[in-house]
Amino acid sequence: MSHVLFTGGGSAGHVVPTYELINVLRRRGVRISFVGSNSGLEEGLLAGLDVDYYGLASGKLRRYLSFVNLLDGFRVVGAIWQAYWLLGRLRPDVVFSKGGFVSFPVVLAAWLRTIPVIVHESDLTPGLANRLAMPFVKTLCINFPATPTGRFRGRVVHTGTPLRDALTNADAATGRRMLEVADVDRILLITGGSLGSDVLNEAVREALPDLTADYVVVHVCGPGKVAAVENRRYRQFEYVTDGWGDILAAADLVVSRAGANTLYELLALGKPNLLVPLSRHASRGDQIENAAFAAALGYSRVLAEETLNRESLLTQIRALDGELVEARERLASFVIPDSVGLICAELDRYLP
């Protein structure tokens, strides 16, 4: 039986895009394993997919100087040894890496075991784990065609990101029924990511009287961040799993962080959007780069977190609302590759 081993972790964005790949491969009779961290995050996200899961005790990869880096350096070495032993036992035909700190030990161990590796990069510029993995990779799959690949000499394939059926087959009418929103009302969907955003939440709630005059506001604010607000045109959720695709399909405008997977979903579904990227104080700046790329092509408007407040949020939303026809026309030109088919074709190069 053919065997594909997936790896990735540290956030939902390093796991969720593998769902459709796993489902398609399993229907073909391919054995699936997944190696993530031992934190429980990735294993929880994969619950119900019927994969063999293995956790590694790996240290994080940081871009800044810290005493913790010394300790984590030993943990990374230990994780490489764990991965080397595990791959020797499992003997997959190919490894597919979605990135994240836990993926690098697996990629290096696969190279040492002469097991071919395919990597997928979601961001406009590769993250640290994928940059370190490049010398050991056969094929690099990229989300956006503008992604720089530097000195990488393997195969580069523009695949986009696999979208879940729940997104590609989403139904706006179902989303409106879930939210109890009438057809005559417009929906403004606001999300700060899986953990929410305090600064975005604050700006949204300060602007609510103005926003709810024009829209029903659907606000995904993050775990533990629901506020006591009485407004019949305001819907709050800590997080949405079931029905997210239908809610997104129902939205007329979206305000969102600029994580690569979220951005790709907005572009693929043709949603006029305002991006509020995570600042460089809290990230390597990948969301800023993603947002700048989308804005340069006319796909998105961008509001810097440093200038986010009630007034700037209202100004940008009103500006987006005033150009909806043009925004939808530009989004219609966004090319959506057959991501699952393209990635499976790369995996098939190494499957018996």
Residue-wise pLDDT tens digits, 292-313: 999 999 999 999 999 999 999 9
Q: Does residue 176 share a domain with residue 278? A: yes
| Residues 73, 38 within the same domain | yes
- pLDDT, one tens digit per residue, over 239-253 is 888 899 999 999 999
Global pTM value: 0.88
> What's the number of domains the chain is made of?
2
Q: Is the Cβ–Cβ distance between 215 and 188 less than 8 Å?
A: yes
Residues 110, 148: one domain?
Answer: yes
Least confident of 100-104, 250-254, 329-333: 100-104
Burial 63-88 (b: 16+ CB within 10 A, else e): eeeeeeeeebeebbeebbebbbebbe
Are 342 and 285 in a shared domain?
A: no
Give the CATH number, domain containing residue 76.
3.40.50.2000
Cα 339 from Cα 17, distance rounded (Å): 10
156 and 284 fall within a common domain: no
Domain residues for 138? Answer: 3-160+337-348
Same domain, residue pair 92 and 231: no
pLDDT of 69 above 70:
no
Residues 36 and 177 in one domain: no
Q: Does 195 lie in the same domain as 233? A: yes
Give the residues across from 5 on adjacent strands: 33, 95
Q: pLDDT band at 67, cuts 50/70/90?
A: very low
Q: How many helices (H) and strands (E) does the chain have?
A: 14, 13
335 pLDDT above the threshold of 70: yes
For the cut 80, the answer to whether the pLDDT of residue 196 exceeds it is no
Return the half-sphere exposure (C-beta side, CA atoms, 13 A cut-off) of residue 182. 5
**Per-residue pLDDT tens over the stretch 9-56:** 877 788 889 999 999 999 999 999 999 988 778 888 898 888 999 998
Q: Which helix (H) or strand (E) holds 35?
A: strand 31-37
Q: In what order do the strands lie in the sheet with 31-37?
A: 52-56, 31-37, 3-7, 94-97, 117-121, 139-142, 155-158
Res. 227: pLDDT tops 70: yes
Which of 208-222, 269-283, 334-348 has the least mean pLDDT?
269-283
CA 64 to mean position of chain CA atoms: 23
Radius of gyration of the CA atoms of the chain, in A: 21
